[in-house]
Structure 1
Amino acid sequence: MDLSIIGYDPVGAWMKTAGTAEELLSYRNPSGITWINVEGIGNKLDIVKLAENYKIHPLTVEDIMDTEQRPKAEEFDDYIFITFKAVNRNRTSEEGTNIFEQMSLVLMESTVITFQEIPGDSFNGIRKRILNNAGRIRKMGTDYLAYAIMDAIVDDYFLVLDKLGSSIEDFEDRAVDERDDNFIRDLQGVKQSLLHVRRIVWPLRDSLSMILHLESKFIEPELEPFFKDVHDAVIQAAETVESYRELIAGVMEVRLSMMSHRMNSVMKVLTIISTIFIPLTFIVGVYGMNFRFMPEIEMRYAYPIVWGVMILIVAGMLIVFKRRHWM
């Protein structure tokens, strides 16, 4: 577990790293804003010690440790607790898809604590802005820092959605390729990834909606437009997910239509062949009977005549099928 702490105010900023909670708590920033980031939640003792020092409720600690926790937001006397899913940029699955990790954020009057399930994040831009005094972040409070963190996470959602969108566009081209035997399996994988994103985005939309309606001392009124901007971005992401689901359904319909058309073509050919052979089978069956007295059997040219009749029947049927556009 890696621990880092950033302290800043309008005048200056500093950053320290630590290996244990005791070492981290030795760094103090009594006059400004403090941002503590915990990478990895494997060491529960350090998390509990950190929670005790900042008066974080034991139930909140349980939610922090629960990596399957549904995104939500709760207000306590001393802080606002928000948990959600974030994209881990440093790792991907065996299939090359993005890995989502559990993220928890504790917003206090002068401190923000973030807990990450997996080391590695997309907050380097925020750290640089703090240390280099870029933008307005050093002039604002902890609520603006919380907004910046959530905004960076939501931006990563769109990176994942853009990647899924490109994959869906490829499937639109593959849908008409009859030789693509892996189409259904690959499309199902993209569909599962999209459903996973949907389960992440929709609850976060509700959490942000709740934060917008809070009359909390931890969020200044002038910060409400910023959180509303993140809320609108999450709604846009949710709408994008739904549009992609419709696209996948459309691609699947095209694929099924192509398969149905191919099946109909095969059945038409087989039906034509079967229809042509019906009269031929009848003729061959009649003359294949073992009766002793059959007038045509004794004829000298009976065999070529029968072949001629069968050829004329086949040719006539093909002409009829062609004129009726059955083939």
Structure 2
Amino acid sequence: MTLHRVVESEGFTWLDVVSPSRLDLQDLARTYDLHQTVVEDCLDPEHLPKHEKIGDATFLILRAHDDSAKDDASSIQELTRKVAIFFRPNFALTVHRVDLHEVAMLRERFGGRGGAPAESCTLPLLLFGLGNNILGSYEKPLELAEQLVDQIEAGLFDGGPPPSLEQAHNLKRRVSLIRRILWQSSQVINKLVPQAERAEPLYQDVRESVEALLFWADQLLDEANNLQQVHLAVASHRNNEVMRVLTVFSAFFLPLTFIVGIYGMNFAHMPELAQPWGYPAVLVIMVGVSAAIATWFRRKGWLGG
């Protein structure tokens, strides 16, 4: 376990705990009067965002996007990292399994050299910073998803090989996971009540941030759903084009094959075979049939003119 005593002033204390064991958390629970359910929730790496009021304390769980997540991540746990936040009016404890950039930025700001004085760190500022940083971690994946939507859409209509349906499906699944975690985060953030009126603008700013990200994710999810439908429609259209070409070729060669088949029969008496004009006459008939078929297809618009 790594314990960062980031802020220890008369008015406020913030402790940041990285990768604690069960024994570490139980020691912290005894020292800072944490409820046992808080310990259990901190130990659960798959816990979804939550808000819980315990006496004069509040317990939050938020999840930050994991930039190292694989492209085929298929669950919230694979795509995000959990941050547990326990706070009272003058005390805050943050717990996470790995050292997160979103929290490290605040440690550097309030506890590092050259940062803001520790005395300037208050509970509203800390919650505002954590909320903004954690929510901000979803901006980059949403931007990448938006770019991928444009690339897939362009690939469907550029005349080349279409993007794979799996690519469109993975995009939809990823955006759906982000949208779900943002919605759950919004439920948590909307339950936060500022202890002082002057802190309300900070809380409202975080609420507006999550609402904007949620709207963005909803829009991308709609576009991803549309892409899947367009992908299937384009694939069906291309299959129809291939079938049309094959049908045209079949229509040309079927009557010609029939004519050739007749004169390929080995009957003893086929009078026209003995005539000098028999061979050219059959060729003329074949050309005439082909011309008639071509004219009919052209009138139907199957030959592009």
**Which residue of structure 1 lines up, in the alignment, with residue 256 of structure 2?**
280
From the superposition, tell whether residues 283 and 318 of structure 1 become closer, same or farther in structure 2 (CA, over 3 Å): same
- Where 1:84 maps in the other structure, the secondary structure is strand
**Which of 6, 11, 15 does residue 36 from structure 1 map onto?**
15
1:48-127 mapped onto 2 (5 Å cutoff): 48-88=26-66, 92-95=68-71, 99-127=79-107
Deviation string for 1:81-112 (max 9, x for gaps)? 000211345xx134498941111000112211
Give the SS at the match of 1:123.
Answer: helix
**Secondary structure in 2 aligned to 1:316?**
helix
2:266, 2:299 → 1: CA distance?
A: 39
Residue type at the aligned position of 2:89: E
Partner Cα distance (1:231, 1:128) in 2: 24
The residue correspondences of 1:299-318 to structure 2 (distance < 5 A) are: 299-318=275-294
Do the aligned partners of 2:12 and 2:123 also contact (CA within 8 Å) in 1?
Answer: yes
Cα contact 1:80–1:106 (8 A) shared by 2: yes
When normalised by structure 2's length, the TM-score is 0.87
**Aligned pair count?**
297
What is the rounded CA distance, in whole Å, between the counterparts of 1:324 and 1:88 in structure 2? 56
Instruction: Please state which structure has a larger fraction of its residues in helix.
Output: 2
| Cα distance, 1:166 vs structure 2 | 1.9
Secondary structure of 2:102's partner?
Answer: coil
Gaps of 5+ in 2: none
Q: Which moved more, 1:161-170 or 1:282-291?
A: 282-291
1:286-305: CA deviations, max 9, x gaps? 33334333321222331232
The residue type paired with residue 285 of structure 1 is G
Aligned match of 1:249 = 225
Q: Could you tell me whether the CA contact under 8 Å between 2:7 and 2:121 is conserved in 1?
A: no
Whether the aligned pair in 2 keeps the contact of 1:175 and 1:251 (CA below 8 Å) is no
Shift in Å at residue 193 of structure 1?
1.6
Tell me, what secondary structure is at the counterpart of 2:101? coil
* Cα RMSD (Å): 2.5
Give the C-alpha shift of residue 256 in structure 1.
Answer: 2.6
Deviation of 1:203 after TM superposition, in Å, equals 0.9
Aligned with residue 201 of structure 2, among 225, 234, 237: 225
- CA distance in 2 between counterparts of 1:7 and 1:288 reads 99
Q: Which residue of 2 aligns with 1:21?
A: none
**Inter-partner Cα distance in structure 2 for 1:152 and 1:221:** 23
Q: Report if aligned partners of 1:40, 1:116 keep a CA contact under 8 Å in 2.
A: yes
Identity level (%): 27
Deviations 1:267-291 (A, max 9, x none): 1111111222232233223333343
Q: Look up the equivalent residue of 1:100 and give its one-letter code.
A: T
Contact kept in structure 1, 2:172 and 2:225, CA below 8 Å:
no
Match of 2:149 among 159, 164, 168: 168
Q: 2:270 — aligned with what?
A: 294
Letter in 2 for 1:316: A
Q: How many Å apart are 1:119 and its aligned residue?
A: 2.1
Task: Indicate how the Cα distance of structure 1 residues 322 and 182 shifts in structure 2: closer, same or farther if over 3 A, else same.
Answer: closer
Q: For structure 1, list consecutive stretches of 5 or more residues without a partner in the other structure.
A: 10-30, 213-217
| Residue-by-residue CA offset, 1:98-139 (whole Å, 9 max, x unaligned) | 94111100011221111112223223442343244649x844
CA contact (8 A) 1:106 1:112 kept: yes
Residue 64 of structure 2 aligns to a residue whose secondary structure is strand
Which letter does structure 2 place at the counterpart of 1:66?
Answer: D
Distance change >3 Å, CA 46–CA 153, structure 1 → 2: same
Aligned amino acid, residue 16 of structure 2: N
Which structure 2 residues correspond to residues 195-214 of structure 1 after superposition, within 5 A?
A: 195-212=176-193
- Residue identity in the other structure for 2:284: G
The 10-residue stretch of structure 1 (240-249 or 300-309) with the greater mean CA deviation from structure 2: 300-309
One of 116, 130, 144 as aligned partner of 2:110: 130
| Structure 1 residue 151, shift from structure 2 partner | 1.6
Superposed displacement of residue 140, structure 1: 5.8
Amino acid at match of 1:72: K
Task: Report which stretch shifted further, 79-88 or 177-186.
Answer: 177-186
